[in-house]
Structure 1
Amino acid sequence: MALQLKIIDSVEKLGYRVTVGDVAAYSGISPYVVQKELLSLASDTLGNLQVTESGEIVYIFSQNLRTIFRNKNLIFRLNEIWKKIWITLFYLIRISFGIILIFSIAIIFAAITIILTSLYSNKEENDQYSSGYRGMNFFVLPNFSDLFWIFYPTGNYSSFSSSKSNEDKFLKKTTFLEAVFSFLFGDGNPNFNLEEIRWEMIGRVIYNNEGVIIAEQIAPYLDNINKYNEYNEDYILPVLKRLAGVPIVSPKGELIYSFPELQTFIKNLPEKHINNNFEEKLYEFTHISSNQKILVISLGVINFILVLTLGSLLKDQSVISASNSLIGFINSSYWFLFSYASFFLGLPLVRHFVIQSRNTRINKRNLERRERLRILSKSNEIIKSKLCYVTQFLSQVKSNNTKLVYTTEKRVVEQSDNIGF
């Protein structure tokens, strides 16, 4: 389904009149896959075909292509429904971690209050309880009078002042409950569509060079280059396999690469990825504001302190037996509360070091890509010689004929021998 939608997206952006080469160059998808999908799409949506004298097939689609496809494809409609359901479901998952934090603080504080109240009320009747209560005086409990800050609109906490308050106004507006999830798990992979962008840019480079390139023109977009495959240019093999390319040897023994399927005759593809720098984005720990970070961390620390305090109180079995059923339930759930409190503070710490390690590797790869782009821009003698042969090769193979000899838009008997545009 995702592949079909990407094909439809490319067809729409290319003006509903495309060749296999156009779509392959624009999307970076293998020409063989594109051909199969275009034929299927044309059949399902009543598209038309045109054939040039050179044998090039042009696919013509209706302007309401997406609507026709939606109406005829049940899976497409179900996929759209699921996307709407998932948005709501994922929102509930995100806020659940904040709700658990609030619930944990509230129930632990209530349990501690009940236990200490019970101990205090019985201290005159039972010396053991009195002694136990005095033993608890070393616990310093935080002030919870302002606990309900968490329900105020985010970004407006009078208790926290920040010199970056003006900057925070431009940050994405996030509720407190969503901020908890962002603090714990981050905001997703910033390079989730990296491979898609990579192949789109590679396809565009090949198209801009009329289907014939040298390895150095593709190198800034690849990561599998090392000292073992750089000299013999083996790193370009995945590109040849995906986009149906073939190597050509020059009289000097230099290699250039031709992609016949991407030597399309339809011109002026929409501008795309003008910036030649193909770089990965760095991971951010979280996008939430400084005030939200302070609030989330503070509540996490408070929750952890309360859990430890409750654990100390629950060590005395007489406290549990003398208390109500709520304390018994909390005692049975203590390890869940302790695990969540530890998880809440431990996971972001681990994630911080993981992000640092990932960003170090990303910076290294970006630096290598920039260096390969710099080498290409300098155009040493070897590169100049290869590009010169590319020009000669193109001058020999340019023989595309855009004259139509057949189209499915008309019956065969209605078509003359020469169909022009």
Structure 2
Amino acid sequence: MTLNPTVMRAVEQLGYRVTVGDVATQAGLNVAEANQSLLALASDTGGHLQVADSGDIVYLFPQNFRSILRNKYLQLRLQEWWKKFWGVLFYLIRISFGVFLTVSIALITVSIIIIITAVNSDRDNDSGGSHSSGGGFFYFPNLFWYFNPNYGTYYQERQGERHQQSNLNFFEAVFSFLFGDGNPNANLEERRWQEIAAVIRNNRGAVVAEQIAPYLDDIGKGYAKEYEDYMLPVLTRFNGQPKVSSEGQIIYYFPELQVQATKKRRQSLPVYLEESLWRFSAASSGQIMLSAGLGILNFVGALVLGSLLRDGTIAAQLGGLVAFVQGIYWLLLAYGVGFLAIPLLRYFWIKWRNSKIADRNRDRLSRARLLATADDSLRQKIAYTHQFAAEKVIGNENLVYSSETDLLDQEVERSAQIDAEWQRRLERGSGE
């Protein structure tokens, strides 16, 4: 079986001694998957099984189990190498857009200067220099005035109010302006199941549907909501069991999540699963304006250059850099258009996406408020869960077997413990 990186990370976070319920809660996995992954990991890393007198199992792993796996599997070493290589490669890809923008502006600007200089020189020669003072004047609009963060007193005041820090350099900011910074909810499903498992754990393994609803989506109305069909995936993932009270109310309890390897504090959780809104860019406002300004400068420069190269005769006469730029002109123009079009389209897409996220957050919050203002029926339902709530912590004193020591040694130690316990009881009896 392929080792699950999520389970490996959960084992490390939990201190290398875990139960299936611990890992299912920490990683947000279903119980069956967590159990199988723990068995595979224990088998491949020399982990140990500890069996409590209640029949529950604790997995004990060596703290260097990742080193054991790296030495054992070439595939894991290749994956780690590729992760490092991809990190470098992706960084080069990110900065390449800013580099290409700078190169594009430089090529366009230098080509325009060469062409204008050549045209003015030809005019001077034809006119005997009579129009040398002004015939070749070329006005290139200064587009940076608007994108200068300090172009007006009002804007300076507003900027002081909205000052945004950024750890991005110029080239990283260009990429962020173009493509953003990734999905802020990439781990939403993992977080959803972690929080649901934590809610169950906080309530000692027994909950009502209304306590889970603020962390779920697509609950709907009518039949599905009335009969709590939305709880089926939760029951499947964490091996839960429904119970019905004498009043016909349904509660759910999860035996595996009631067992822990170590005593843990009650987790502090948000009252509902909140999705993060998409940001246009992590770059500062000044970096965004600079990127937009350079994009406009590049686009306008490409249009001006295109008008100068329209008939193709100038490039043929001058050759060299101008001829090269004419050969890649459509690439420069396409990049200029894309540099402005992509962020604009992304801006409207983010607004639409955020409106959907806001709706989902609002629905979950309304279900959390319903729980916070529970009526008598719901309070009675929650009270019924207390009959099934339990918490079991397996310490070393509860163990009847551990695979980390020889079975004969364990039997001898167990017998010694029993004898010592009888001796203490006899001493107490004789003292009385």
* Cα separation, 1, equivalents of 2:372 and 2:165: 37
- Of stretches 226-235 and 270-279 in structure 1, the one that deviates more from structure 2 is 270-279
Structure-2 residue corresponding to 1:84: 84
CA distance 1:374–1:214, change in 2 (3 Å): same
Q: Deviations over 1:28-69 (max 9, x none)?
A: 111111111111111122111111233211111223333333
SS of alignment partner, residue 415 of structure 1: helix
Is 2:283 aligned against 1:284?
Answer: no
SS of alignment partner, residue 351 of structure 1: helix
Structure-2 residue corresponding to 1:6: 6
Structure-2 residue corresponding to 1:257: 252
Deviation at 1:266, TM superposition (A): 3.5
SS of alignment partner, residue 123 of structure 2: coil
Structure-1 residue corresponding to 2:427: none
Which amino acid is 1:47 matched to? G
Q: Is the 8 A contact 1:157 1:291 kept in 2?
A: yes
Which amino acid is 2:359 matched to? K
TM-score by length of structure 1 reads 0.86
- Of stretches 78-87 and 410-419 in structure 1, the one that deviates more from structure 2 is 410-419
- Of stretches 225-234 and 163-172 in structure 1, the one that deviates more from structure 2 is 163-172
Q: Is the 8 A contact 1:22 1:269 kept in 2?
A: no
CA distance 1:170–1:3, change in 2 (3 Å): farther
Q: Deviations over 1:251-274 (max 9, x none)?
A: 222211122222215453366453
Structure-2 residue corresponding to 1:413: 408
Structure-2 residue corresponding to 1:150: none
Deviation at 1:355, TM superposition (A): 0.9
Q: Is the 8 A contact 2:206 2:253 kept in 1?
A: yes
Structure-1 residue corresponding to 2:312: 317
Alignment of 1:219-258 (within 5 A): 219-228=213-222, 229-258=224-253
Is 2:140 aligned against 1:141?
Answer: yes
Q: Is the 8 A contact 1:215 1:236 kept in 2?
A: yes
Alignment of 1:147-166 (within 5 A): 162-163=156-157
TM-score by length of structure 2 reads 0.84
Q: Is the 8 A contact 1:162 1:290 kept in 2?
A: no
Which amino acid is 1:190 matched to? P
CA distance 1:267–1:410, change in 2 (3 Å): closer
CA distance 1:378–1:142, change in 2 (3 Å): same
Which amino acid is 1:45 matched to? T
Q: Is the 8 A contact 2:3 2:40 kept in 1?
A: no
Which amino acid is 2:85 matched to? I
Deviation at 1:12, TM superposition (A): 2.3
Structure-1 residue corresponding to 2:202: 208
Q: Is the 8 A contact 1:168 1:289 kept in 2?
A: no
SS of alignment partner, residue 379 of structure 1: coil
CA distance 1:248–1:135, change in 2 (3 Å): farther
Alignment of 1:32-71 (within 5 A): 32-71=32-71
Which amino acid is 2:33 matched to? V
- Of stretches 215-224 and 21-30 in structure 1, the one that deviates more from structure 2 is 21-30
Q: Deviations over 1:174-221 (max 9, x none)?
A: 211111111111111111111111111111111222222111111010
* Cα separation, 2, equivalents of 1:211 and 1:291: 51
Which amino acid is 2:408 matched to? V
- Of stretches 45-54 and 58-67 in structure 1, the one that deviates more from structure 2 is 58-67
Q: Percent identity, please.
A: 45
* RMSD across aligned positions (CA): 3.2
* Cα separation, 2, equivalents of 1:399 and 1:324: 83
Q: Deviations over 1:285-331 (max 9, x none)?
A: 11212222222121111111111111111222332332214322222
Aligned mate of 2:166, from 168, 172, 191: 172
* Cα separation, 1, equivalents of 2:246 and 2:109: 83
SS of alignment partner, residue 347 of structure 1: helix
Structure 2 residues without counterparts, runs of 5 or longer: 128-133, 419-432
Which amino acid is 2:86 matched to? W
CA distance 1:200–1:332, change in 2 (3 Å): same
Aligned length: 403
Structure-2 residue corresponding to 1:299: 294
* Cα separation, 1, equivalents of 2:174 and 2:351: 21
Alignment of 1:337-416 (within 5 A): 337-394=332-389, 403-416=398-411
Structure-2 residue corresponding to 1:149: none
* Cα separation, 1, equivalents of 2:201 and 2:105: 60
Structure-1 residue corresponding to 2:24: 24
* Cα separation, 2, equivalents of 1:359 and 1:177: 27
Deviation at 1:246, TM superposition (A): 2.4
- Of stretches 39-48 and 340-349 in structure 1, the one that deviates more from structure 2 is 39-48
* Cα separation, 2, equivalents of 1:100 and 1:203: 48
Deviation at 1:376, TM superposition (A): 0.8
* Cα separation, 1, equivalents of 2:245 and 2:136: 87
* Cα separation, 2, equivalents of 1:247 and 1:265: 21
* Cα separation, 2, equivalents of 1:287 and 1:183: 8
Deviation at 1:6, TM superposition (A): 2.1
Structure-2 residue corresponding to 1:152: none
Q: Deviations over 1:128-183 (max 9, x none)?
A: xxxxxx9997x631469x9xxxxxxxxx9998984466678861322111111111
- Of stretches 291-300 and 367-376 in structure 1, the one that deviates more from structure 2 is 291-300
* Cα separation, 1, equivalents of 2:407 and 2:263: 30
* Cα separation, 2, equivalents of 1:255 and 1:172: 50
- Of stretches 247-256 and 352-361 in structure 1, the one that deviates more from structure 2 is 247-256
* Cα separation, 2, equivalents of 1:399 and 1:201: 20
Q: Is the 8 A contact 1:162 1:291 kept in 2?
A: no
Deviation at 1:400, TM superposition (A): 9.0
Which amino acid is 2:379 matched to? K
Structure-2 residue corresponding to 1:97: 97
Deviation at 1:223, TM superposition (A): 1.0
